[in-house]
């Protein structure tokens, strides 16, 4: 081995060690005063001259909301993180938001309500804006390279003292459900997943909503027209059920009156997961819209119960072998 080659190998090894030790979390800023935010009037009420949290939001006294930024593929990505105020180690939930560009982007309201409610149950909850939206650098790809902004989040959680990174769950709604499927197919190490109103069949979605192709995919997916078939398949979990890990139980939630993402997308995927012996539970809510808003409390209970089973209680995986009398 030449002296130059030895020096080169040494350089690569040192560079690898340096990258492994690099901080991914760039900023974590506590949002200390919600009274200065637009959501405050919705969360509070004045009784006998004193302003206080409405009954359903009194958990806000038990949590902390942070705006964060972190590195993904060298890009500065923004997001939110919410955790319990009490010291301790908590299991984690990675929340994947829906929408595209700034439609559906994370606001402090998400931190105070959806993410905050989960955090109040004893979880560190983290969520990405994805690249190209919410002030994040880069270009959004609606389920392309931007999935890396999700895949890196376990590394980010390692830098949060309250986060127990041995117990991480994935939770995504709509486009966020598709991001969850993509992350699972890339081998993301989590213990449970929940999706709601999730995109699982992009060709079917285009057929139901042609405007999605022209107004979203054609504008966001690189070289879409030239690689249309491959790009649609990449974003369609029904095309690759064999890529799902068999040790991550998935809860699929859908409303059967959802016009944005028809419930048959979850039905089709559930049948394929069944063939692959992937542990899953499918819940279809009668008359439920895209957010299953008609059953909001029940949905929230189901989500937390699923994560509690596999993240907090350490419940064993379901026996997916055919068995019984």
The predicted pLDDT at position 21 comes to 65
pLDDT at 6: 53
DSSP symbol at 312:
I
Identify the residue with better confidence: 13 or 227: 227
Q: Are 108 and 40 in contact (CB under 8 A)?
A: no
Cβ pair 27, 69 in contact under 8 A: yes
Q: pLDDT (tens digit, 9 = 90+) per residue, 112-131?
A: 999 999 999 999 999 999 99
Residue 14's pLDDT band (cuts 50, 70, 90) = very low
Q: Could you read off the pLDDT of 209-248 as tens digits, one per residue?
A: 999 999 999 999 999 999 999 999 999 999 999 999 999 9
What is the reported pLDDT for 20? Answer: 54
Measured CA to CA, the distance from residue 264 to residue 244 in angstroms comes to 19
How does 194-228 read in b/e, with b if 16+ C-beta sit within 10 Å?
A: bbbbbbbbbbbbbeeeeebbeebbeebbeebeeeb
Supply the pLDDT for residue 9.
46
Question: Mean pLDDT, the chain, as a whole number?
Answer: 93
Which tops the pLDDT comparison, 3 or 44? 44
Residue 22 banded pLDDT, cuts 50, 70, 90: confident
% of the chain beyond a pLDDT of 70: 94
Mean pLDDT of 85-96: 97
Strand order, beta sheet including 75-84:
25-30, 63-72, 75-84, 124-128, 90-96, 163-173, 192-196, 250-255, 280-285
From residue 14, how far is each of 7, 11, 125, 128, 152 by CA, in Å? Answer: 11, 5, 34, 30, 22
| Helix or strand (DSSP H, E) at 231 | helix 228-234
**What token pair was written down for 103?**
């439609």
With contact defined as beta carbons under 8 Å apart, do 257 and 226 qualify? no
The b/e string for 55-85 (b: 16+ C-beta within 10 A; e otherwise) is: eebeebeebbbbbbbbbbeebebbbbbbbbe
pLDDT (average), residues 25-44: 94
What is the pLDDT at residue 143?
A: 96
Q: Is the pLDDT of residue 18 over 50?
A: no
Whole-number pLDDT of residue 1: 53
Which run of H or E residues covers position 12? helix 3-20
CATH code given to domain 24-312: 3.40.50.1820
Going 234 to 267 to 180 to 172, the CA torsion angle's sign is positive
Say whether 108 sits in a helix, a strand or coil: helix
pLDDT at 11 over 50: no
Give the model confidence (pLDDT) of 143-172 as tens digits. Answer: 999 999 999 999 999 999 999 999 999 999
- Residues with Cβ within 8 Å of residue 103, at least 6 apart in sequence: none
Write down the pLDDT at residue 53: 95
Residue 2: per-residue pLDDT: 57
Q: Which two tokens stand for residue 231?
A: 């790009």
pLDDT at 295 over 70: yes
Pick 91 or 104 by higher pLDDT.
Answer: 91
pTM for this prediction? 0.92
């Amino acid at each position: 081995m030449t002296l130059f080659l030895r020096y080169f190998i040494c350089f690569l090894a040192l560079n690898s060690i340096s990258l492994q030790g690099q901080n991914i979390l760039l900023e974590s800023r506590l949002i200390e005063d919600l009274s200065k935010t637009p959501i405050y009037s919705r969360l509070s009420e004045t009784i006998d001259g004193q302003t206080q949290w409405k009954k359903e939001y009194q958990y806000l006294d038990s949590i902390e909301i942070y705006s964060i930024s972190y590195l993904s593929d060298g890009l500065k990505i923004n997001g939110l993180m919410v955790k319990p105020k009490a010291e301790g180690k908590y299991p984690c939930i990675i929340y994947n938001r829906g929408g595209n560009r700034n439609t559906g982007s994370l606001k402090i309201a998400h931190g105070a309500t959806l993410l905050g409610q989960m955090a109040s149950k004893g979880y560190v909850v983290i969520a990405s804006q994805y690249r190209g939206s919410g002030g994040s650098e880069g270009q959004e790809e609606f389920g392309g390279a931007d999935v890396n902004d999700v895949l890196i989040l376990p590394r980010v959680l390692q830098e949060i003292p309250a986060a127990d990174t041995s117990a991480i769950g994935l939770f995504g709604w709509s486009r966020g459900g598709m991001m969850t499927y993509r992350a699972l197919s890339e081998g993301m190490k989590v213990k449970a997943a929940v999706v709601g109103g999730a995109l699982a069949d992009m060709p079917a979605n285009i057929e139901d909503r042609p405007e999605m192709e022209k107004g979203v995919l054609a504008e966001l997916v690189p070289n879409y027209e030239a690689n249309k078939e491959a790009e649609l398949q990449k974003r369609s979990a029904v095309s690759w059920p064999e890529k799902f890990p068999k040790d991550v139980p998935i809860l699929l939630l859908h409303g059967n009156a959802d016009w944005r993402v028809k419930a048959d997308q979850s039905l089709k995927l559930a049948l394929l997961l069944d063939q692959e012996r992937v542990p899953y539970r499918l819940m279809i809510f009668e008359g439920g819209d895209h957010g299953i808003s008609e059953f909001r409390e029940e949905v929230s209970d189901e989500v937390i119960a699923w994560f509690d089973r596999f993240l907090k209680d350490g419940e064993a995986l379901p026996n997916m072998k055919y068995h019984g009398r």
